[in-house]
Structure 1
Amino acid sequence: MFTGLIEEIGVLRSVQRRGEAMILTISANKVLADVKMGDSISVNGVCLTVVEFDRNGFSVDVMPETFRLTNLKSIKQGSSLNLERAMMAGGRFGGHLVQGHVDGTGTIKGRIAEANAVVFTIEPNDPQLLRHVVQQGSVTLDGISLTVIAVDRDACAFSVSIIPHTLRETVLQHKHPGDTLNIECDILGKYVDHLLNFRDSHSSPTRKAGGLTESILRDNGFM
């Protein structure tokens, strides 16, 4: 489990690719402070397991499912990567509950400066992901815990506003329209949606299971 607060930007030292499987070796500093074999480290929002490390970096395996579902398939030697260690019990919880289980990717459609912030507009490659994206709710982009400021369902896109600190301390500083980002939707919304749809699909053969809506949340006591 992670919080979505990036600890440092690592650099891809090497990538060994065998079909849709990869071994990534990443240069890092802060996340190595107490690293052990088998530890979980979020790499661009993907929970990966440390299989080897030295004083300058660590290596992780990427399986075919992760290769297909995330933007790790497009990274190259020298690429910058967001890194975060798994959260410690008793530590401050500054972001939101992040599993490191990416739901899909999205393409940046806009990057616009607004006063001291930069607004990114993202179009999910799978439109169904928007059912779990709520205005003023949480979303994870390349491992970064962010707040959704707008959802445009007609354009199948949503927007987030990035403060200078977040831009400076994450790979978003290098991202521009056309680039892809890993998306992990809020786990709470996904579970509520699953439970409601599971109940609907088993309670009545004539009732068609639908998506999570405001009326469903209200009828079931969530609002």
Structure 2
Amino acid sequence: MFTGIVQDIGLISCKKETDSGVFLEVKTQPDLLKDLKIGASLAVNGVCLTVVKFTEDCVSFDVIPETLRVTNLEFVSEGSKVNLERSLKFGDEVGGHILSGHISCKASSRLIKSKEETELVIECPEEWSKYILLKGYIAINGASLTIAKKTSNSFSVFLIPETLDATNLSKVSDGDLLNLEIDQTTYATINAAESLISKN
């Protein structure tokens, strides 16, 4: 599990195709990898990946085709910046909200900047729109954020300066595909309510 508080912006230092998908190597701060073990979980742009190798300042993963299909890791390349978070440990502070690292979908995005604020607009796929609730949680590229606006086919979050500094969301270009993880409590509640209604 994760909390949606990005701990570092890593740099893709190697991406190469393998027989089972893609091998990814990410360069990061040594402090993030302290006491790391092979087989541990680490979120990359919100995607829960298993550590297969690491050095003092690099960590590596094998990414299977299904993960590439569902997430934006298909589109990263050497030099791309990615959000990183270590898995939650018992007793850690939950600064955002609980995340599984299982991406719901990827969605097109754009940034709207003004002197007063930065708005990130997400074109939400129709099948996921019912889970987008005003003031509810959403994880975007692994960052825990609050939904501020919603239309029939999109929603918006506002990015504070700390989020812009601590994540790769400040680098979003029009049309970039970002990873979304729907809040699991919202997902379960709406599905349970729909199931109950359909039986009556």
Structure 2-normalised TM-score?
A: 0.94
Aligned 1:15-94 pairs, distance under 5 A: 15-18=15-18, 21-29=21-29, 30-94=31-95
Unaligned runs of 5+ in 2: none
Is the contact made by 1:111 and 1:177 (CA closer than 8 Å) also made in structure 2? Answer: no
- State the Cα deviation string for residues 39-63 of structure 1 (Å, max 9, x = none): 1000000000001111121111111
Higher RCO (C-alpha 8 Å, min separation 6): 2
State which of 179, 184, 187 in structure 1 corresponds to 2:176. 179
Number of the residue aligned with 1:196: 193
Return closer, same or farther for 1:189/1:114 CA change in 2, 3 Å cut-off.
farther
- The CA distance in 2 between the partners of 1:197 and 1:91, in whole Å, is 34
Return closer, same or farther for 1:198/1:20 CA change in 2, 3 Å cut-off.
farther
Aligned 1:132-143 pairs, distance under 5 A: 132-143=131-142
Per mean C-alpha deviation after superposition, the further-off stretch among 65-74 and 104-113 is: 104-113
Per mean C-alpha deviation after superposition, the further-off stretch among 191-200 and 52-61 is: 191-200
State which of 137, 162, 165 in structure 2 corresponds to 1:168. 165
SS in 1 for 2:173: coil
Is the contact made by 1:20 and 1:68 (CA closer than 8 Å) also made in structure 2? Answer: no
How many residues are matched?
A: 199
Unaligned runs of 5+ in 1: 205-223
Return closer, same or farther for 1:114/1:99 CA change in 2, 3 Å cut-off.
farther
- The CA distance in 2 between the partners of 1:69 and 1:152, in whole Å, is 24
- The CA distance in 1 between the partners of 2:142 and 2:77, in whole Å, is 18
The alignment-based identity, stated in percent, is: 34
- State the Cα deviation string for residues 62-117 of structure 1 (Å, max 9, x = none): 111111010000000010010000111111111001111100011114423251x3
- The CA distance in 2 between the partners of 1:61 and 1:167, in whole Å, is 29
Work out which of the two has the higher radius of gyration on C-alpha atoms and give 1 or 2.
1
- The CA distance in 2 between the partners of 1:40 and 1:94, in whole Å, is 19
SS in 2 for 1:3: coil
Per mean C-alpha deviation after superposition, the further-off stretch among 53-62 and 39-48 is: 53-62
Root-mean-square deviation (CA, aligned residues, Å) is: 1.5
Is the contact made by 1:140 and 1:184 (CA closer than 8 Å) also made in structure 2? Answer: yes
SS in 1 for 2:147: strand
